[in-house]
Amino acid sequence: MKHLLKGLYLLVGVACIVYYFVLWHASRLGLSMSLMWPALGVLFIACGLLCERRDLPAWVHTGWRVLLCAGLAALLALEGLVVSGMSASAPPDMDYLIVLGARVDPDGPSPALRRRLNAVMACLDDHPDARIIATGGQGSDEPMSEAQCIRDQLVERGVDANRILMEDRSTATVENIRNAMALMDDPAARVGIITNNYHVWRATRIAQKAGLTAAYGIAAEYTGHTRFHYMVREAVCIVVDFLRGNL
């Protein structure tokens, strides 16, 4: 049994480290929180190397197994929340569509942002009178603000520029929502929150907590081998936002 457990620890540890290099290769500019994968890899490899050590007290072996099981259970519960929002859509005739910002690459919108733009275009017929609020400030490594990129791309795709409002100072989801609310005439308005599928549950709950009681998530498709990273990262972000009182 101990040999099997050791092999499992080592296998998971190596897989985490390999996945980090997959992410590193896939992203030219790096992914937020991607260093958690080599850190987890080292942790699991250490557990594998130590699990057969007979000179360690029994409570050490029991303790780390309890912690690992508790951590896994918590992760699965949080991922249930993430998955629950991944196919979300809003009822017709929203008053506002808030497009949450994402990275702007030197050559244009990142894959995540392109998918959010696609989701906007796909749902416009269902919300013909909705004002669009483009959100997101400019990072130090971005050529323009995320809001400006969203606006420019939508106009290029045929959306009337007068229909688009811009919030270009925010640096996080909470700021996206709060700053967008300042541009709205009615905080009780029906609002669609457009973001990538893994982000919908948290973004919608942040909006509702901020006072947008009629906020609905609109999931933009996101696939590929980086989605697993974003889903795990989102579980961490849910905990952080809960502790900060944003959820």
Q: How confident is the model at residue 10 (pLDDT cuts 50, 70, 90)?
A: very high
Contact 9, 44 (CB under 8 A): yes
- pLDDT (0 to 100) of residue 68: 87
Is 48 a residue whose pLDDT tops 90? no
Token duo for residue 221: 């498709």
Mean pLDDT of the chain: 93
Q: How confident is the model at residue 2 (pLDDT cuts 50, 70, 90)?
A: low
- Residue 29 CB burial class (10 angstroms; 0-12, 13-18, ≥19): exposed
What kind of fold does domain 96-243 have according to CATH? Rossmann fold (3.40.50)
Cα angle, residue 79 at apex, residues 15 and 147 outer, rounded to 5°: 95
Q: Quick one: average pLDDT of 208-223?
A: 95
Tokens 């130090």 — which residue? Answer: 140
Q: Which among 137, 62, 69, 100 has a CA at the least distance from the CA of 222?
A: 100
What share of the chain has pLDDT > 90, as a percent?
78
Cβ-based neighbours of 215, under 8 Å, separated by 6 or more: 191, 192, 193, 204, 207, 208
Cα 177 to its chain centre, rounded Å, is: 15
Is 174 a residue whose pLDDT tops 60? yes
What digits encode the pLDDT tens for the residues 61-119? 788 789 989 999 999 999 999 999 999 999 999 999 999 999 999 999 999 999 999 99
- pLDDT (0 to 100) of residue 169: 94
What digits encode the pLDDT tens for the residues 146-171? 999 999 999 999 999 999 999 999 99
Cβ-based neighbours of 241, under 8 Å, separated by 6 or more: 173, 174, 202, 206, 247
Q: How confident is the model at residue 141 (pLDDT cuts 50, 70, 90)?
A: confident
- pLDDT (0 to 100) of residue 28: 57
Is 218 a residue whose pLDDT tops 80? yes
Q: Which among 224, 204, 223 has a CA at the least distance from the CA of 214?
A: 204
Q: How confident is the model at residue 236 (pLDDT cuts 50, 70, 90)?
A: very high
Contact 146, 98 (CB under 8 A): no
Cβ-based neighbours of 110, under 8 Å, separated by 6 or more: 102, 103, 104
Taking the C-alpha atoms of residue 114 and residue 220, their distance in angstroms, rounded to an integer, is 9
Q: How confident is the model at residue 27 (pLDDT cuts 50, 70, 90)?
A: confident
- pLDDT (0 to 100) of residue 224: 86
- Specify the pTM: 0.90
